[in-house]
Amino acid sequence: MKVAGWLRRDAAAAWLFLAPSGAGFALFFLIPFAMGTMYSFMDSVVDGHYTGLDNYRELLQSGSFRKAAANTAYFSAVSVPLNLTLSLIFALLLNGNLYLRKWLRTAYVLPLVVPVASIVLIWQMLFDWNGSLNAWLSAFGLERVDWMKTDAARNVIIVVYLWKNIGYNVILLLAGLQRIPKDYYETAQIEGAGRLRQFGSITLVYLTPTMIFVVIMSIINSFKVFRETYLIAGDYPHDSIYMMQHYMYNMFASLDIQKLTAAANLMVVGILLIVMGLFALERRYRQFME
């Protein structure tokens, strides 16, 4: 009885401490999401009527939405594997006896603490028609590239995304590498396994859970690239970098809340399906390891 009473008091205290966070989450996230989902099935925000899936049908028939969805999917499909590969390479280098290792760790973390808005001016100066990159190309006898008004704009945004997110992933992967017991590598060396065999049979195997988490975070961050794209290219960028967030921003500017919420819901469903698939893959991996 004493234990039961103590557990009840402990639970009451826990709920008391969780109440402010729960109220904030409900007020700023849960309730607005529920209202947005409701608006996506109505013809108007004010005195609207239920229209079923009409907003979603119009959305899928919209050329601008399909273009934004295709660009976002392409960007995630290219940038996330690149991000994972480069992050893993840098984490492996930092995990070894690399020269200036401490300074390099600091360099990878800097993009996380520097505000993006203050760095955008540098990116604009670098990729402008009269910017530094085109000046270097001209110096080597190459033609200038209008980076932000051609399909090359997609490559610029991918570079900015990698610059911003690699540091965080390197920290996660480096922590995962340092958790792998050194005894495994010593045993593999005694048995004659080379570096490539050790990497495939030890490093990748025990780093898989961390890599899955890194992929999930990279996918989520790839859907949040609107801030950098907007600051560099403005409201209506080149067609190759017209993302889902651009579409939703323009719908908000025109007060078409129904299309905005419908697009947001479709994006949430897409992200959830990808994340659930990755979690299912991780569960199978754990069962295989057990």
Does pTM top 0.85 for this prediction?
Answer: no
Cα–Cα dist 208/199, whole Å: 12
Instruction: Compute the average pLDDT of residues 34-50.
Output: 81
Amino acid 129: pLDDT: 75
Amino acid 79: pLDDT: 92
Closest residue by Cα to residue 148 from 243, 91, 232, 67: 232
Closest residue by Cα to residue 198 from 100, 96, 81, 282: 96
Cα–Cα dist 214/206, whole Å: 14
Share the mean pLDDT of the chain. 81
Confidence tier at 99 by pLDDT (50, 70, 90)? low
Closest residue by Cα to residue 252 from 242, 241, 264, 243: 264
Amino acid 4: pLDDT: 57
Which of the given ranges, 110-114, 171-175, 228-232, has the highest pLDDT on average?
A: 171-175
The number of beta carbons lying within 10 Å of the beta carbon of residue 73 is 13
Amino acid 9: pLDDT: 67
Contact residues for 154 (Cβ-Cβ < 8 A; gap 6+): 71, 74, 75, 240, 241
CA distances from 97 to 10, 40, 100 (A): 48, 55, 9
The number of beta carbons lying within 10 Å of the beta carbon of residue 42 is 19
